């Protein structure tokens, strides 16, 4: 992913089952980066990671490449401000779509619908 114009705050997250049970989730890591046309930087999101982004300016051209064709039936989400994840957003009151505002927290998301990163 990269921003062709302006700036974007992007994050990625791995989800793995805890040793106690699949119902108890653990986030093994999350990372954030500011992407911008000026920096010409990119962020690779491996298969099995959740990810999201926030436009930091009024107009953004955000480009990304997927490993497969888009399917609305496969689209999933986690609540953007889930305190259990603890992402430190660069703004306090973002404009959130109705769809994104309705996503469950990580603890309440159906485990089988979450992306799962498998270490080799």
Domains of the chain: 2-113 (2.60.120.10)
Q: How far apart are the first and last CA of the chain?
A: 24
Report the C-alpha gap between 112 and 36 in whole angstroms.
34
CB contact set of 107 (below 8 Å; sequence gap of 6+): 25, 84
- The pLDDT score that the predictor gives to residue 102 is 94
- The pLDDT score that the predictor gives to residue 19 is 42
Task: Name the average pLDDT for the chain.
Answer: 77
pTM: 0.73
């Amino acid at each position: 992913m990269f921003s062709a114009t302006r700036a974007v705050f992007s994050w990625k997250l791995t989800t793995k089952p805890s040793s106690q049970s699949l119902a108890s989730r653990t986030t093994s890591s999350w990372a954030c980066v500011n992407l911008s046309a000026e920096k010409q930087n990119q962020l690779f999101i491996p298969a099995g990671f959740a990810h999201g982004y926030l436009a930091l300016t009024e107009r953004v051209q955000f480009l990304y490449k997927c490993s497969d064709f888009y399917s609305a039936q496969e689209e999933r989400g986690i609540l953007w401000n889930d305190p259990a994840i603890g992402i430190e957003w660069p703004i306090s009151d973002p404009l959130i779509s109705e769809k994104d505002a309705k996503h469950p927290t990580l603890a309440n998301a159906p485990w089988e619908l979450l992306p799962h990163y498998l270490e080799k």
